[in-house]
């Protein structure tokens, strides 16, 4: 994988349901993976930074896992709420080279 | 702390005009970045500065120049604006002196339209 790819591009979730989505990144020269949350009309805000294979991070109802050998990370939202509606960006850091994914847009409907 | 501030918030230019986007951070961060965001393409790095007095090209530097005026300020200049430079521009900063595990803090963005 040469670029950072996020899938799906967008998803709609019913309030209370859980969901997850993927970030694929180049596994060679990997240093760190960042997840950002980006609400409409605002700036991206940091959620997690992960560096080690098998890393798991959690912040409230949102958690993320990392597999550096195969080059993917999952982000999970448990019991989605309308305030979780945002675009979630992943950023791969390969020893100084940052690559941004295009984001997964999450829309949580009541 | 204001964090990362950008001016202006909105700007409309005619093709060929020049302008400078200003960015300042009050977190004593070493690194600063300029990105552009276009629909369906995510954020793309234009230029970055790993420390005061240094600047480096990112993924899409053509048509832009930057100045790291001091530790706080990092400006982006369009010498001769083109419609292809219509975009939303984000400035960011991080504590370290290079891209690593440091979290980046983003400004509110500047929406630029070139007619």
- A57 neighbors A73 (Cβ within 8 angstroms): no
Average pLDDT over residues B68-86: 96
pLDDT of res. B71 = 95
Best B44, B100, B111 member to test A by mutation, with max A CBs in 10 Å, is B100
Q: Which of A17-21, A64-68, B1-5, B98-102 has the lowest mean pLDDT?
A: B98-102
Q: Does the CA dihedral B85-B88-B89-B92 come out positive or negative?
A: negative
- C-alpha span between B43 and A19 (Å, rounded): 24
Please answer yes or no on whether B43 and A49 come within 8 Å at the CB atom. Answer: no
Average pLDDT over residues B66-86: 96
pLDDT of res. A94 = 80
> Which residues, in sequence order, are CB contacts of A29 under 8 Å at separation 6+?
A94, A95, A97
Higher pLDDT, A60 or A41: A60
pLDDT of res. B18 = 96
pLDDT of res. A84 = 96
Please answer yes or no on whether B42 and A89 come within 8 Å at the CB atom. Answer: yes
């Amino acid at each position: 994988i040469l670029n950072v790819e996020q899938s799906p591009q967008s998803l709609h979730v019913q309030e209370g349901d859980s969901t997850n989505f993927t970030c694929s990144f180049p596994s060679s020269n990997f240093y760190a993976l960042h997840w950002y949350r980006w609400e409409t009309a605002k700036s991206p805000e940091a959620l997690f930074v992960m560096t080690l294979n098998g890393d798991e991070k959690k912040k409230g109802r949102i958690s993320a896992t990392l597999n550096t050998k195969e080059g993917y990370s999952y982000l999970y939202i448990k019991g989605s709420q309308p305030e979780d509606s945002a675009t979630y960006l992943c950023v791969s850091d390969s020893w100084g080279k940052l690559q941004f994914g295009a984001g997964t847009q999450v829309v949580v409907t009541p | 702390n204001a964090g990362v501030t950008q001016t202006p918030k909105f700007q409309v230019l005619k093709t060929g005009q020049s302008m400078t986007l200003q960015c300042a951070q009050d977190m004593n961060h070493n690194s600063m970045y300029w990105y552009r965001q276009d629909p369906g393409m995510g954020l793309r790095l234009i230029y970055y500065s790993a420390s005061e007095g240094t600047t480096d090209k990112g993924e899409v530097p053509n048509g832009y120049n930057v100045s790291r005026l001091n530790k706080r300020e990092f400006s982006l200049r369009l010498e001769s604006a083109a419609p292809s430079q219509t975009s939303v521009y984000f400035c960011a900063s991080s504590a370290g002196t290079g891209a690593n595990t440091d979290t980046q803090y983003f400004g509110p963005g500047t929406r630029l339209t070139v007619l």
